[in-house]
Amino acid sequence: MIDRIWSILHARNIEFLRDRAALGWNILLPVLLVIGMGVIFSGDGRAMFKVAVYQQSVDIDLTAHPFLQTRFINFYAVSDLDDAKAKLARHQMDMLINLAVQPTQYWINDSAPKGYILERLIASDEISDFDRGTVTGTAIRYVDWLLPGILGMNMMFSCLFGVGYVVVRYRKNGFLKRLKATPLTPFEFLTAQVLSRLILIMLLTSIVFAGTSYLINFKMSGSYLALLVVAALGATCLISTGLLVAVRTASEEFAGGLLNMITWPMMLLSGVWFSLEGTPQYVQTIAGIFPLTPLLDASRHIMLDGAGLSEVMPQVIQLAVMTTVLLAMGAWLFRWQED
């Protein structure tokens, strides 16, 4: 028995080591993630708080007020006060201050722990010339802001891995080769895969959405129909991304490496766990490339701000264009069997 186990173990190890692409991804992916996270989140002391400064210019004069010289706080400029207050309510920043008036005004979210700490800091004897303000509207809990990210992340993994691995397995076991002899076209095959996974994803996500709504009674200000349209379009875009990875791949390990290369940056940069407000502009630009970013942006606007489809139309158009391009590329690049 031990000999048989050893033979299978040895054969599987040899198979993996001979797959140069899979081996390369397994070595390269962690290195790229470490380098990427180091570039994005490193610096001379990580900032613990994000504070927006209302002013028209982009550059902030750190000598304008003693509070701006506080270490471990990321100060960045905003030019739209109402938009900044809305972001503060959604936990995308920890505090908003206005140095253009006297006494200096500040706003915090009463339900944000970091806002409480910052308020205690400015209430000290050294920094006392602040006038407190409150964010108007119903307070938004962090769980209300987080829930769309969790649901979106779950959709991302189900769409990418649920479709990508299946197509790769079909090609590997010869099923796609048999389909090649039928009148079925690549576009028809890919469309069927998209619709099948979309139905399952929307059904499962709706069940999770209803269950979490019953358990934690999260905030839902907008239209359920608008949210359904955005979720369906976002899921279709994610499924198309997974199909594009698998259109020619015959190695499950290689496909897994490619999918991980997509999912990890998307999970970290699309705003699942934390807002990218105040991060460098190039980071926000990179985040905008991923389908999960407009999906989460539109979902949060609908759920937290009560936005309609017309108000999230930029995100809807972005998802529609990305879906069309990805499906077209997938149909063009698709092969029934490995080259």
Instruction: Compute mean pLDDT per 10 residues along the chain, 339 residues long, and list them.
Output: 53 57 55 53 64 79 76 83 81 83 80 79 64 61 79 85 78 78 76 81 85 78 90 92 80 77 84 76 84 91 86 92 89 73
Q: Using CA of residue 276, residue 222, residue 241, residue 322, what is the dihedral sign?
A: negative
Q: Provide the pLDDT for residue 160.
A: 84
Q: Provide the pLDDT for residue 35.
A: 56
Q: How far, in Å, CA of 69 to CA of 61, rounded?
A: 10
**Of 241, 264, 251, 262, whose CA–CA distance to 193 is shortest?**
241
Q: Provide the pLDDT for residue 8.
A: 38
Q: Provide the pLDDT for residue 134.
A: 60
Output DSSP code: residue 67.
G
Q: Provide the pLDDT for residue 271.
A: 81
pTM of the model: 0.69
Q: Provide the pLDDT for residue 41.
A: 52
pLDDT digits (tens, 9 = 90+) for 58-114: 677 777 777 887 878 888 888 888 888 888 877 778 888 887 777 778 888 877 778
Q: Using CA of residue 74, residue 149, residue 286, residue 56, what is the dihedral sign?
A: negative
Q: Side-chain half-sphere of 138: how many Cα atoms within 13 Å?
A: 12
Pick the CATH number of 49-134 from 1.10.3470, 3.40.190, 3.90.550, 1.10.760: 3.40.190
Q: How far, in Å, CA of 233 to CA of 320, rounded?
A: 7
pLDDT digits (tens, 9 = 90+) for 286-296: 888 899 999 99
Residues of the chain with CATH 3.40.190: 49-134
Q: Provide the pLDDT for residue 46.
A: 63
Q: Which residue in this structure is represented by tokens 């290689």?
A: 254
List, in sequence order, every beta strand (DSSP E) within the chain: 49-54, 73-78, 95-98, 104-108, 130-134
Q: Side-chain half-sphere of 330: how many Cα atoms within 13 Å?
A: 29
